[in-house]
């Protein structure tokens, strides 16, 4: 990978980092909306690990590319770039479909029916599909296969905990008196 490719990859990862910062702004606003409507947060214990893992993912990809200086063939980085961009489309489809109910935490507002529109017509957790694919695709754009592998393994554990937490919280909310059908 020539210096130009490393710089280009850095710009790409920084763009994904800026996108994550935008998500945090939206999340904070939406969390306030949820709490104002009686929302309760679940799974606070795994949230700091998620923040560290996702930050480390972006930094790890950059460090790996600058230290190892891989030279990924176009046959790898072009489709991985397309997949990485597609993850952002899916992620924002999820965010816009959930509207003010979306945030990076597990906050359940009592009385709200589950969302079954948009990508939620097809999957229970489409945003996590975006996270999994991005975790593989983005690092491989730059040839950072170690980052892709480590993130994928750690993220699998995190998502196991996270999805169980969300499902339990939603099940409790649906069983509560006065819950929406």
Task: Return the SS3 of 69.
Answer: coil
Q: What is the 3 state secondary structure string of 99-137? A: HHHCCCCEEECCCCCCCCCHHHHCCCCHHHHHHHHHHHH
Which residue has 């008196």 as its token pair?
A: 177
| The predicted structure's pLDDT at residue 180 | 56
| The predicted structure's pLDDT at residue 3 | 62
Q: Consecutive 10-residue runs of the chain (181 residues): their mean pLDDT?
A: 81 98 98 97 96 98 97 96 98 98 95 93 96 98 98 98 94 70 51
Query: How far apart, in whole angstroms, are the C-alpha atoms of residue 61 and residue 136?
Result: 11
Q: CA separation (Å) from 4 to 7, 8, 13, 16, 50? A: 5, 6, 14, 19, 32
Query: How far apart, in whole angstroms, are the C-alpha atoms of residue 127 and residue 33?
Result: 20
Surface-to-core class of residue 48, CB atoms within 10 Å of its CB (0-12 exposed, 13-18 middle, 19+ buried):
exposed
| The predicted structure's pLDDT at residue 1 | 46
| The predicted structure's pLDDT at residue 71 | 93
Going from the N-terminus, what domains does the chain have, and what CATH number goes with each? Answer: 3-175 (1.20.120.1630)
Task: Return the SS3 of 41.
Answer: strand
């Amino acid at each position: 990978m020539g210096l130009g490719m490393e710089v280009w990859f850095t710009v790409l990862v920084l763009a994904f980092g800026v996108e994550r910062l935008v998500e945090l702004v939206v999340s904070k606003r939406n969390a306030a909306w949820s709490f104002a409507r009686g929302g309760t947060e679940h799974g606070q214990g795994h949230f700091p690990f998620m923040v560290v893992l996702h930050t480390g993912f972006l930094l790890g990809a950059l460090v790996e590319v600058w230290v190892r200086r891989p030279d990924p063939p176009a046959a790898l980085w072009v489709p991985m770039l397309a997949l990485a961009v597609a993850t952002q489309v899916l992620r924002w489809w999820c965010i816009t479909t959930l509207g003010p109910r979306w945030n990076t935490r597990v906050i359940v507002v009592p009385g709200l029916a589950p969302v079954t529109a948009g990508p939620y017509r097809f999957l229970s957790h489409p945003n996590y599909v975006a996270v999994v694919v991005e975790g593989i695709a983005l690092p491989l754009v730059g040839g950072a296969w170690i980052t892709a592998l480590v993130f994928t393994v750690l993220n699998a554990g995190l998502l196991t905990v996270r999805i169980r937490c969300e499902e339990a919280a939603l099940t409790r909310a649906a069983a509560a008196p006065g819950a929406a059908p």
